[in-house]
């Protein structure tokens, strides 16, 4: 399970994206500008490839508020993806072929 402590501070997220992986699932958090203000975009995709080389159809995204509550909500969403799509993450090692 991904924990809030696994994600770097809001000060870090204000400057650049944060990436990580857990049990075959890769994830990325980044700030994005929208008309209504800055938002936190969370993206998950199966290993082994990085964000840039992974096809868009394999990525799942959700947006959250760009604050501490948004990070907590993003972590909960990523854990939901980890649980609900666990077969996809467990089979990610086959993607090396």
pLDDT of residue 6: 87
What stretches of 8-67 show up as alpha helix (H) in DSSP?
10-15
Given a cut of 80, whether residue 53 has pLDDT beyond it is yes
Provide the terminal-to-terminal Cα distance of the chain, rounded to the nearest Å: 27
Q: Give the tens place of pLDDT for each residue, 57-75.
A: 999 999 999 999 999 999 9
Match 């990085």 to its residue by tokens. 50
Mean pLDDT in residue range 10-29: 94
Given a cut of 60, whether residue 27 has pLDDT beyond it is yes
Q: Which residues pair with 18 in a beta bridge?
A: 29
């Amino acid at each position: 399970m991904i924990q809030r402590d696994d994600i770097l501070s809001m000060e870090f997220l204000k400057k650049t994206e944060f990436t990580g992986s857990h049990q075959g699932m890769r994830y990325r958090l980044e700030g994005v500008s929208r008309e209504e203000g800055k938002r936190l975009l969370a993206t998950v995709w199966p290993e082994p490839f990085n964000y840039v080389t992974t096809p868009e159809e394999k990525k799942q995204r959700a947006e959250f508020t760009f604050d501490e509550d948004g990070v907590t909500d993003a972590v909960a969403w990523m854990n939901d993806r980890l649980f609900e799509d666990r077969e996809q993450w467990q089979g990610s090692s086959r993607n090396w072929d």
